[in-house]
Amino acid sequence: MNPVREQFGDIDIYLFDQILKGRIRPGMRILDAGCGGGRNLVYFLGTGFEVFAADVSVEAVAGVRAMGAGLPESNFRVEPVQGMTFPDGCADVVILSAVLHFALDDAEFGAMLLGAWRVLRPGGLFFCRLASTIGVEEEVESLGGRRFLLMDGSERYLVDAGLLREWTGRLGAELADPIKTTVVQDLRAMTTWVLFKADR
Per-domain residue ranges of the chain: 3-196
Alpha helices in 58-131 (DSSP H): 58-67, 106-118
CB neighbour list of residue 68: distance below 8 Å, 6 or more residues apart: 41, 45, 51, 75, 76
Give the phi and the psi of residue 77 in degrees, each rounded to 5: -125, 140
* Cβ neighbour number for residue 113 with a 10 Å cutoff: 24
Which amino acid would we find at residue 121?
R
pLDDT in tens, 83-112: 999 999 999 999 999 999 999 999 999 999
Q: Which helix (H) or strand (E) holds 166?
A: helix 161-170
pTM of the full predicted structure?
Answer: 0.96
Determine the pLDDT at residue 41.
Answer: 97
Statement: residue 1 has pLDDT above 80: no
* Burial group, residue 46, by CB count within 10 angstroms (0-12, 13-18, 19+): middle
Q: Using one digit for the tens of pLDDT, what is the confidence trace for 37-64?
A: 999 999 999 998 999 999 999 999 999 9
Domain 3-196: give its CATH superfamily.
Answer: Vaccinia Virus protein VP39 (3.40.50.150)
At 165-182, the pLDDT tens digits run 999 999 999 999 999 999
Q: Is the pLDDT of residue 200 over 80?
A: no
Q: Per DSSP, what are the bridge partners of residue 93?
A: 30, 125
- % the chain with pLDDT above 90: 95
- Distances from the Cα of 178 to the Cαs of 5, 40, 45, 139, 193, in angstroms? 27, 21, 28, 24, 8
Q: What are phi and psi of 31, to 5 degrees?
A: -125, 115
Q: Give me the mean pLDDT over the 11-22 stretch.
A: 97
Residue 48 pLDDT: 82
Residue 79: predicted pLDDT: 98
